[in-house]
A and B are shown apart, each in its own frame.
Chain A
Amino acid sequence: MSAACKLVAPVPHERAWQDFHAQVVSAVGEAFNNVVLHGYAGRSDGPIELRISTTGGRIRIELRDWGSSFDPSTVPLPELDALPESGLGLYIMKSFMDIDYRPGHPNLLKLTKRLSTTPDSAEATEPKA
């Protein structure tokens, strides 16, 4: 994932890129964990197909799995003030990247993010409930 992020930016050591990298790595890690822990819950193995493409300052990651589906819109936002110990994965994903989920066989999760050159470029955005 780090190598893919480097393809997005010609100067991969600036602050914006560091934030971009941290957020992409975080979101994709949570997406992968969700498939393993929930999509393939109770199974010892299962395939995950990962496709990464980078174009014009943007990275797009597609994860396909053949496990259980879910509806991201029904997952409540965590109550951060209550210091939750779980239920944070989807929030991290939605905050750090744009996500599009299509249930099916396979399930398809698309994660996209653009590296902007403005100072606030890599800020997280509040996910919608």
Chain B
Amino acid sequence: MKFKVSAKDGQTTLAIAGQLDALTSPDLRAEIDSIVESRPTRVEVDLSSLRLIDSSGVGALVSLYKRARAEGSRVEITGLRDQPLAIFRLLRLDGVLAGAVAKLPDEPKHPKSRG
């Protein structure tokens, strides 16, 4: 997993590439702390180069989302595709996070309604 953080005009972009899983997600912790504490107006999490995510990786991103929102930042996840997109759809993160997943491809809606 590789990640890159850039900040400009009150916006922070966190681009994550490779695999975000139980082994690699702890490496993001310090960066998430730093992003949240800087309280940017908007946080973009660019996942266009993310190849694989597991439940631990989702947990790290949900943590970022919750904490950044609590500090008043807007969070948008962009670039979802392939396996990460399947996971986000299953976990209804596109729906639950409302505008957070702003740029989902126009593909099938959630699998069957649940719950």
Contact = CB atoms under 8 A, between A and B. Distances in A.
Interface of A: 18-19, 21-23, 25-26, 29-30, 33, 36-37, 77, 80-81, 83-86, 88-89, 91-92, 95-96, 123-126
A83 B90 contact: no
Given A23-B86, A124-B90, A86 B55 contact: yes
Interface of B: 21-22, 52, 54-56, 58-60, 62-63, 65-66, 82-83, 85-87, 90-93, 96-97, 108, 111-112, 114-115
A88 B21 CA distance: 13
B112 A126 contact: yes
Nearest to A80: B92
B55 A22 contact: no
Contacts of A91: 91
A21 B92 CA distance: 20
A25 B52 CA distance: 9
7 contacts: A29-B21, A83-B97, A85-B59, A86-B56, A88-B58, A92-B87, A126-B114
Contact of B54 (A18, A26, A80, A123): A26
B101 to A, nearest CB: 12
Nearest to B92: A80
Contacts of A33: 21-22, 54-56
